[in-house]
Structure 1
Amino acid sequence: MARYINDVRVVGLGKVGELVATLLADAGFAVTAYDARERSGLSFASKALDVRNSGALREALAGADAVVSCLPYNLNLGVAEAAHDCGVHYFDLTEDVPTTNRVLELAAQNPKNVYAPQCGLAPGLIGIIGSSLTAQFDEIRSIELKVGALPRHPAGLLGYAFNWSAEGVVNEYLNDCEVLRGGRRQMVPAMTEQERVVIGGIELEASLTSGGLGTMCETYDGRVQRLDYKTMRYPGHFELMRFFFDELGLRNRRELAGELLVDAKPPVDDDVVYLHAAVEGRTDEAAGGLPYRKQYVRAYQPLDINGRTWRAISWTTAAAAAAVVELVADERLPQTGFIKQEDIGFADLLSTKSGALFGNLGKV
């Protein structure tokens, strides 16, 4: 069957972008990727591109069916607007709320294209899983979503390594978080409402961080009493981060904060991604209408793909994004307008070539 999307451009060949392009090529798409510097030895075509050059960016998108932006959050809008102008379907991995709000505006201006931001790990996969769990309930009381991308063998008091964008992590720790409380949308401070979590015998702590819910608060407003997203870390992490940002005065010096943190805690290869999604509610059939809880818990390790070992944070993010592109291409998701993560079925995602990676891995 002919696909709705065939020619895909991937912008940004960093920790995730190279694997997104690899997975899409493996899934049968014609892929051309762009990065700030020339790349060689890749399994797909690649070219150098300065994404800040709007003319060159639009030229790169000419003739494409879709583009996946794998850039830092602050560069996504340029790609989204270029895709809008070129009539190209748009996908990204961002957790940045203002970026997504602008993509929503673009979708309203040109509803003929697909706009699917936030289709990475969080927001993205974790919201897809959580929303899919709600289908088992007639009445939903709470949705709790948690993700932790961590070193498997932590060292030092922070117990952390910056395998993800430092700028993104700093934003998540400092920006206010949208939640549902009492069935209504609220904004609350990040790094609050801390709780203890145990996965496979590993003790973690979880605190609210921003951006992980995407559009879910709007979707479930008035339907769910409690909804939130928390980031998981090893015990003691958030107390030290509050000291770092508040007592050392780095809350208003985000760029410097990111530089210091990456220098102190550089990336590691041996990482683990913890997912914890839980939904509480009632059904007419279960226990005479008494409340019960459904959970989906995984611990994903690094994975060998095409003879190369990829960090857990890289492959989980890339596989989720590539799977969403596959679903749109195969007309199993809408071919126009804004696509919310919570409208994507987890079973559908697992049935794609890229999404199948989640099927049997990570069980604890």
Structure 2
Amino acid sequence: MAQRIERVAVFGLGKVGELVAEMLTDSDFAVVGHDARATVSPDARFTARVTDVTDPAATRAALADVDAVVSCLPFHLNIAVAEAAGELGVHYFDLTEDVPTTNRVIELADQGGDAAFVPQCGLAPGLIGIIGASMAKEFDSVRSIELKVGALPQNPTGLLGYAVNWSAEGVVNEYLNDAEVLRGGLAQLVPAMTDTERVLIGGVELEAALTSGGLGTMCRTYAGQVARLDYKTLRYPGHFQQMRFLFDELRLRDRRDLVGELIVDAKPPVNDDIVYLHAAVEGVKHSKPFRENYVRGYLPCDIGGHRWRAISWTTAASAVAVVELVAAGRLPRTGFIRQEDIGFAALCDTKAGRRFAHAGR
């Protein structure tokens, strides 16, 4: 039988990792955080250690006395952590949107062992796929699943109308890597930042365009069953036109690091952010044609005596809720777990996940 989860390591104590550690503590796990600097709030309720996670020996030492690890590191560091977790029989969770990383995690899960491998536990992939798949299960038949997420400033300025509250590296990858979609039930790769459409949420005009990584494993799951499936990122109108100018007319597609530096400098993080979720399923429900929408806007909130940005707490709550479900035996404790196999109602029934049922508007 796979091990229970009582002790959890959190790798990366940045914008989201510190809150993941706090929320895991709040959910009664014993938590140790690891970071190159380990600078956390003075009143943090978990142990923080300085650890070089690029050092294989240090990574294995950090995993030696825990049952699970949640990696909140940049995507390119996750594979080494997943491989170490697999060797030591430690349950593995991450927030990545990187497709090659997830493919490697699936390979590790297929090797057997006494641990669960649950990547992509953030917002997209992650929560939005859980919501869309849960909605689809209530239909007699499904012809389309449309998923959209936007992490945005509430009060945008300039032509980009943006603030880098998430990883600049991750954003650039989403904009430049091809997006996987289903069209006619077949998986296809199409250029990111295409198929732009106008979206209205609560009277706020937004635009949505295809971006990479947001679907996780859903294309494999629904191929041949659903005619249309896609994931799009929500931005304020005109944003994608400006990004195409940056990448194409200024010829910066091959200079991703530079683009990341430029947008962080030009559009630094803000505290007054909002996270939009928009999931829509069309098909036949109760023997009649039907379209169901799940639309929410999540604002910053207070957790543990601190004000947390919307992108931070929504991402952290999604990840911690999944850890809770595995720990409670409500999800398998071995093998690869797809986000679309997680029920949204079950997620909202966890201590961390209850916020999604009550905080959105």
Q: Quick check: TM above 0.5?
A: yes
Aligned pairs for 1:92-241 (under 5 A) are: 92-241=94-243
SS at match of 2:160: coil
Aligned residue identity for 2:311: I
**Residue-by-residue CA offset, 1:58-106 (whole Å, 9 max, x unaligned):** 0010021000000011111111111111110000000000000010111
Q: Select which of 321, 324, 334 maps to 1:323.
A: 321
Distance in 2 (CA, whole Å) between partners of 1:317 and 1:142 is: 25
The answer (yes or no) to whether the contact 1:176–1:189 under 8 Å persists in 2 is yes
User: Is 2:297 the partner of 1:299?
Assistant: yes
The count of aligned residue pairs is 357
Indicate the residue corresponding to 2:354 in structure 1.
Answer: 356
- Displacement, 1:291? 1.4
- Displacement, 1:201? 0.5
- Displacement, 1:307? 1.0
Q: Give runs of ≥4 in structure 1 deviating > 6 Å.
A: none
SS at match of 2:48: strand
Distance in 1 (CA, whole Å) between partners of 2:15 and 2:117 is: 23
The answer (yes or no) to whether the contact 1:38–1:47 under 8 Å persists in 2 is yes
SS at match of 2:9: strand
Q: Select which of 32, 48, 72 maps to 1:46.
A: 48
The answer (yes or no) to whether the contact 2:13–2:38 under 8 Å persists in 1 is no
**Residue-by-residue CA offset, 1:288-340 (whole Å, 9 max, x unaligned):** x3311011000000010011000000000000000000000000001100000
Indicate the residue corresponding to 1:336 in structure 2.
Answer: 334
Distance in 2 (CA, whole Å) between partners of 1:24 and 1:78 is: 23
Aligned residue identity for 1:45: T
Distance in 1 (CA, whole Å) between partners of 2:137 and 2:293 is: 13
TM-score, normalised relative to structure 2:
0.98
Aligned pairs for 1:226-305 (under 5 A) are: 226-283=228-285, 285=286, 289-305=287-303
Distance in 2 (CA, whole Å) between partners of 1:64 and 1:112 is: 14
Aligned residue identity for 1:118: Q
SS at match of 2:358: coil
- Displacement, 1:111? 4.1
The answer (yes or no) to whether the contact 2:86–2:113 under 8 Å persists in 1 is no
The answer (yes or no) to whether the contact 2:89–2:113 under 8 Å persists in 1 is no
SS at match of 1:156: coil
User: Is 2:24 the partner of 1:30?
Assistant: no
The answer (yes or no) to whether the contact 1:184–1:222 under 8 Å persists in 2 is yes
Distance in 2 (CA, whole Å) between partners of 1:5 and 1:97 is: 27
- Displacement, 1:38? 3.6
Aligned-residue RMSD, C-alpha: 0.9
Distance in 2 (CA, whole Å) between partners of 1:261 and 1:181 is: 33
- Percent identical residues: 68
Indicate the residue corresponding to 2:17 in structure 1.
Answer: 17
User: Is 2:306 the partner of 1:308?
Assistant: yes
Distance in 1 (CA, whole Å) between partners of 2:192 and 2:39 is: 38
Indicate the residue corresponding to 2:60 in structure 1.
Answer: 58
SS at match of 2:152: strand
TM-score, normalised relative to structure 1:
0.97
Unaligned runs of 5+ in 2: none
The answer (yes or no) to whether the contact 2:132–2:281 under 8 Å persists in 1 is yes
The answer (yes or no) to whether the contact 1:39–1:47 under 8 Å persists in 2 is no
Distance in 1 (CA, whole Å) between partners of 2:160 and 2:124 is: 22
Aligned residue identity for 1:231: T
SS at match of 2:172: helix
- Displacement, 1:131? 0.3
Aligned residue identity for 1:54: P
Indicate the residue corresponding to 1:7 in structure 2.
Answer: 7
